[in-house]
Structure 1
């Protein structure tokens, strides 16, 4: 059985970047996919394959969404490469000018065609000494290496290095994007096309983010102990509030109450808002959490309805069920952060 194509993105972050800001960018990207490999101090790789169905978008569109969020929330410019594996994505990113994306098609023949004219030294693992050895035999491009008989390449480099180089020259890289650790935080964000001064829209946006966070936590059987709300304004300044929850939860109404409390504490009134981000922190497994039982049956009914809604979303898609208060809010698919 042929395995489905992978869609790997490699991002370069341009401009001054502190360690804390780099961690914030990683947190944001976990809102796109949990399969992230950090490459400090200013690069990161993402496996977008599992996010495509969740977002119902093409790989290039999901990558541009990630770049847009980084620019809107942090003012950081990026360049990117997109390809069928980690090696090609990294090489494409290296060839991308600042602010641009180089997309290498995931078809084997397209990737091989993109590699052929590039210099041998562009391949990972080919240093100056190896490139010089190959140049003495008139081998300057990746295409020339791909066309070379295996025995000839082995006589030049030795058996093991020759096999590795031949695979790379043909665009073969089976190394997966493996996260070093599960996400400790989940972030949902909403970026506006234009400045917003309407308090009702602020309320709806934050309510939608709380709903997204709740769905993602329940999908991954996690709970959160605290929430952080960040509101970014048209002048690129921002306000941040953090609150601890009364109890660890993934229940959307409880998350919404805390998130809206933080929003109200900002007193935005006529502030010109450009973006919102809600982050769930101090995540735990749902089995370790406690829940204060209430005598009011309304709470249990609400949780039962929430569970039924989650089942409907998993079967029919994330727009199958939406809170009535968000009926007119722009639909933003929940980000597959810890899947």
Structure 2
């Protein structure tokens, strides 16, 4: 049976959320993001006319569009509305995967026996807009890669249907940038050898492509040829991430304990970014040598940045560890998770910090987590 995979994407989601709460923002250039040294999280189509794009430095965005209204952003509002959209889709879709705060995949294979697949999806999109007030685009095709690319090509109002025999004609003329896994570095590398559109990429031998860009070469070749067998994963919302460490010997060494905590935060924060989560609740727990356990927690602005979370964890630990009795275990939990497609808290952090995290995460994914680490964790290797 042919697969029928839908990709649904909330249009300029952060902007649409702000306009729901303030109708005066309709029709004007609007930019969501941090301060002067921050980056653009989202922008309206009115701002895009001037060349403003997501992830652009805020200073550059305001040079291009000085009349734009800048709003810092409200992740709690965005998370709440995202969950409402998910509930509407979940009630009707046979199989749904929530890919990020504003994206969903649906597997509706076989549904055309009862309704036309495109008609059913159009009605679902209309239900989302009717019940939430948020505009949503979609595309229907044979796999996740093609449907995601098609959604982007159809925005803001055109919803596309790409049948199996139309996959290659649809993909061929597009830039390789349109393939989800192609970042700036891969695009630059391939451009240097004359590969700029998907058709040229698809005609390269997979083995050669693998030699050029590494282990992801074969996967990139498959996507360029419209091949993607990855399933739509059933939606299960993660509530928290946690880790703990029990010591071989009970200790009161504050420097050692804080270095342990810093290393634990770094691992958890890397996992947050890898799985595209932001946390809003930090919990620190300690267990004394007599097995008494104490915890403290606090709320934080949504983030997945090590430097923010390390500071909060150390402050909680200082407030928590008052008895100066030896400790046998420490633990950390990040809760109040929401989906986020950005690797750090773009509402607070600078472009330079964002670039640093992206570079570190890339090295960790390629060479292993221990390939690069914060200085605070070095003591772990010496202890």
- TM-score w.r.t. length of structure 1: 0.48
- TM-score w.r.t. length of structure 2: 0.43
